[in-house]
Every structure is written in C-alpha cells, then in structure tokens.
A and B are shown apart, each in its own frame.
Chain A
Amino acid sequence: MISVSIFRMFHVSPAMLTGFYVLLAACGVLARTLPPRLRRAFLALAGLAFVARFFSATMAPALAALALLLWRVCDGGETLDARRTLAAAAVVAFGLGPACFGGFFAGYTHGHVRLQDLLTVMFLANMLKKSVYYVYERRAGRARSPAAGDFLAYFFALPFTVGSVIFAPSEAASRWEARSRRDDLLSGLRTLALAALHAGACWLLIRGGWTRAYDEQFLARAAALRWWQLWLIFVSTYVGVYLHRYALDQTCVGAARLLGWDVRGNYDWALFPADYADYWRRWNIHFRELLMALFYYPSALRLARRRPGRRETNLIAACFVTFAGAAVFNFVLHAAFYRPGFGAAYYNLAVRLALYEGFAWVMVSAAGIAEMRRRAAGKPEPGRWRRAAGVAITLLLRAGSVPIYLTDVPGLSWTVPVRLIAAAFGVPFRR
C-alpha cells in the first residue's frame, strides 16, 4: 500500500502533550489568584518546570549559560559590543550547546524523530531567534531594557515551550493582559480546540489506515510509483506538515491567550493562499515578520531610494536578501543543535536549504511582480474561479517542493529530491 507520508517526524508524544495541558490548566487557575507583578514570573517558572520534566538533564548547564547570555544581550541591546556578543553566542551555540545536547536531538538514538526531541530543538531555536529579535528591537528603540520578570516570561513562559511562535518583544509587552480575562479565556479555549482538531487530523492522516512510511522505504518504492501516486504522496505530506505545524504553533498561541497574552495567530488559512507570495504571508507569520524586519525592509527601502525606476529588479533583489537570510538562520540553527558539523554533513543541509529557499525566492518574486503589474494596470482583484485556480496551483507548488525535505537517508545525493520532482512530471526515477 502506498503511504501518504514520506516523513518520520510525526510521532506525537501523548505523555508530553498531556503534561503540557495539565500544567496549563493548573497555571490557568493559579495565575489568576496571584498579584499581577508575580503572574508572569510564575508562568516562567512553570515553563522551566515543563522543560525540566521533559527535556534532557544534560541540557541544564547549556540552558543556564544560554539564559545568562540572552539576559546580557537583551539588557544591553542598544550598546552591545557586537563582536564580543557574537563570540559568546558562537561558544554557546556551537560549543557548549552541542556538547550537552549532541546526539540526543532529532531521535537518532531512537530510530525516528520524536515530538519531544523536535520540541527541544524548536524551543532552543526559538530562544536564539527571540534574542535576535530583542537586539533588533532594542537598537531600533522599539523595546525597552527588560525587567527580570519580562525577560523570563518572554523566553521561558509555559506557552512558549511548544510551537515556533517568536513574536516581537514589543508585542509581547503590549499584549500582556491587554484584554479582559473572559475574552482571553474564550479566545484561548477556541484556539486550543482548533489546534487539537488539526492535531487529530494530522494523526489520522499520518497513522490512520496507512502504514508508517520512512524515507528509505519510500525511496525504495519510488521507482515503481506512477506520477499521480507521487503527487498524492507529495500533497498529503504537505497537508500533514501544515496540520502538524498549525497544531503545535496554535497550541502555543491558544495557551498564551489563555494565560493573558493576546498573541496573534501564526497561520492565516495557510492551506488556501491565492499565490505563492500570499502563501508566504499566511505561513509562520511571526518568523516572517522577523525576516521582513531584518532583511526585506532594509534592502527594499535602500534599493527603492537608489533605483526608484527599477521596481521589479528591486523586488527580486530584496526577496533574494530575505530568503538568503532565512537560509542562513536555518543553517545556523540546524547545524548548532544537531551536532557540530553533523547537520551539515548528514543532511546535505546547505544544499537542501539553498534549494528550498531558492525555490521560495523565485516563486515569491514571480508572484510579487505579477501583483505589481496587476496593480499598475489598475486591474481588479482576481475573481472567484481565478482565485480557486491560484489556490490549486499554489498547493501543487508547495507539495512539489516536499521532496527537498527528504531528511533521514544517510548519504542521500541532493539530486534525488530534484529527480523525484521530475518523476512527478513523468521522467523515470532511478535511485
């Protein structure tokens, strides 16, 4: 039977999720009895308790060192000596971190990737992204030097131990208890319910009715599959990835809302974008905003001032800078937290990231230029049928890039994903 999944990553840990929900419910009740100034510190302590329960004990020294470094970075963001901070960050990320975490992550001691391993990677990656956000906002005058409670809450509060939501520090501060508790409660519960539905759908798609497929098994059978079977696999894998990411991230958002942060959602009907640029606007919104702030707006503004007449090439160049920045971010994070050098060698990480981000760069630039031309010509928004066609094409484009993320095959040539994509268009595939 054909499996619909070519990834190994969707192994939910019921113990971990149950633990999270129990702790969340307890915190939801307890936090309301505490005075406001203690509430956020309490939620940070709950987050640390969760980390201590489910993450490896060897993480403690690295986590403490990382926290101290982050505190220094956030506290002195405006006047920070960039060279010394980068050196310290490199020691923590590439030295102390992998020494404590190496070999534990990503399930290579378990035979497949488990959710709790994935969460550990995401949690640490988020801390690094958040520290970059903090420095950026401090330098831009958008965030103030944090009080200890704010700092702990931003990095360690219970909701942020799951998912990959990395909203801006200024937003975290302004949206804390911005609404009534009743609104927060209702909104949080609604979001958590939706996240649970997505998690259930993901579980059904990946486990229900189909055999669990691993990359090796998939590749062994790929040559025998027809083009439409490959497309079925790619599309359902992409939908599975979406359901999985939505479930995790919106669990974080729902939990945050429940506990007092009116955090914006990280997905906005991301399965139904009208074109590739629209997809990028709707998927992992918080990280996208960081990339926009760090890479897109500075380059787009500079180019627009220097060469105002070349709008289309300016857009292509600004998008290139943005996706190159995204690739560097992901490369550092992956390479830092698997093992020193391990991520780069084992996964062909650099090539895979270049392929993936390069594909996104071309697609987003093309969609942006089309949108620019439509507006310049004064044409109306696309009608219903055209929009439906755009949604279908974008879905296929997204699904078509799935083979780039074939991860768990040692020594896999970077040409294999490319040849798999070609096979979906009828070119015979040979491993």
Chain B
Amino acid sequence: MHELTLVQSMITKISESAAIQGIQHISRINLVNGKFSGANTEALLLAFSLFKDIPLFKNAALEIEEPEIIAMCNSCHKEFIVEAYLFRCAYCSQNNVKIASGQELYINYYEGE
C-alpha cells in the first residue's frame, strides 16, 4: 500500500536532480531495495507504472536490486546471510545478532539525456 508513497518520493527526487542536470528523458533507474526494507518490489514496479505518463519517465526502465539481509553476530562477530528471517548466527547459533544491511531502500543511479 505505501509503495505508492515511496515511488512518489523517488519521482520527486529524480525530477529535482534531472532539472539540475538538464536531463529531459530518463532511460534507466537503478533502485536498491534490501530484502528487509519492508517495501515489496512487485508493488514498487506497479506503482511506478502509474507515473509513466510524465514525459521525463515515459521511456524509463526501473531496475530493482534486492540485496540479501546480512547480520553480524554479537558473540562471534562473524557476518552471515539471514535466510527465512531466522536471526540466528550461522556459525555459533546465538540469537544475539544485529542487522548489518538489507534494510536499505534508495535510488542508486539513473541514466538519461
């Protein structure tokens, strides 16, 4: 549901940047949506399709990367990939872990002319 708000924010940020850069047509947007960001990639793509009548975004392809959830163990200090939302160290089985990455949601870059 809130993906529309998020895509709206993406459209605003890119439009502002494109105006400064003098870019009139965007061809590609690279978005990073970590697997634990809470935003759904399919819903982001659907929401983006609603903005395609804006001339700046008419031919823009939205690519979304989905980096894994990486956690760090507070006991053995090793990093591991969190599978199936199991926040338990893959090396020492402790549950006292902190999330290192995978919650990010940001525009990485865009291309246009």
Verify that A and B bind, or say they do not. no
Which B positions have Cβ atoms within 8 angstroms of A?
A: none
